[in-house]
Amino acid sequence: MSEIERLALDLLDQRELQLANHLSILLGDDKWDAGPLVEEILPVYWEKVGDKFQNLHPGNIYRPLNYIHVWSSSGEFKNSTRAYMDVISGHLEGCLQNLMTPSEHRAMSRTFGPMVAQLKKMGILSAELADHLWKFNAVINVPAKHFGAYAPTRRLDERTFSVIETVYAIVIMRKLSMQLFALLKANDVSLPHGWPEFKDEWLSWFREFNNDPEQQ
């Protein structure tokens, strides 16, 4: 059992573990298009302005959700898990940056671990939440940002996370982000959309890719 799987078992409840296992079926088989389900699980991250779509503000919180959704519909999930992990981490890092200061530009130079330490020192993060974020940083964020750090390989572009580890990370991100969203709102950070409530129908959701150009 990997460190990510241990963290998932420690942090997630039974329904969340079931969701992760269901996502692993969808994302582990190119037959299934998991994108619409992932989009339903995530907060709304975009808005239409005129005839264009744009990510919501704060961009460092909402922009990574765009990639999480889009890459879930690519059919190439198994081959890009490290990059997927990076944007999962980027979303949580954006939440931390916006808790650090009203100016996200000033916070951009701060890294994940030190931000958690500072926010705990400031009394914004509880000891428990800080501990969970540090564990996430150690087993997901740091390995995702450094090629081969999790499972050293000879090729830098070779994936270093399994499908089940990556979907566990998605659901762990959801759980931690929901807590951070509550803190952001309590600290007067404007968030246009929050996390949807858990729906049991997510656990039985399936949709195949439509590869027939006449039906697209």
Per-residue pLDDT tens over the stretch 97-149: 999 865 544 544 578 999 999 999 999 999 999 999 999 999 999 888 765 44
Return the beta strands (E) in the chain as ranges.
Answer: 46-49, 52-55
Write down the pTM of the prediction. Answer: 0.88
Spatial contact of 164 and 73, defined as CB atoms under 8 Å apart: no
Q: Assign 209 a pLDDT band (cuts: 50, 70, 90).
A: confident
**Residue carrying the six token digits 């879930």:** 72
214 found inside a domain:
no
Residue 190 belongs to a domain: yes
- Residue 21, domain member (yes or no): yes
- How far CA 196 is from CA of 22, 173, 177, in Å, comes to 18, 14, 12
Give a yes or no: residue 16 inside a domain: yes
In a domain, 212, yes or no: no
Pairing of the two strands 52-55 and 46-49: antiparallel
Is 24 a domain residue?
yes
| Overall domain count for the chain | 1
151 occurs within a structural domain:
yes
Per the structure, the complete domain to which residue 132 belongs is given by: 3-204
Residues 178, 92, 198: CA angle, nearest 5 degrees: 30
**Domain-embedded: residue 71:** yes
Residues 6+ apart with CB under 8 A from 11: 132, 172, 175, 176
Mean pLDDT across 76-91: 88
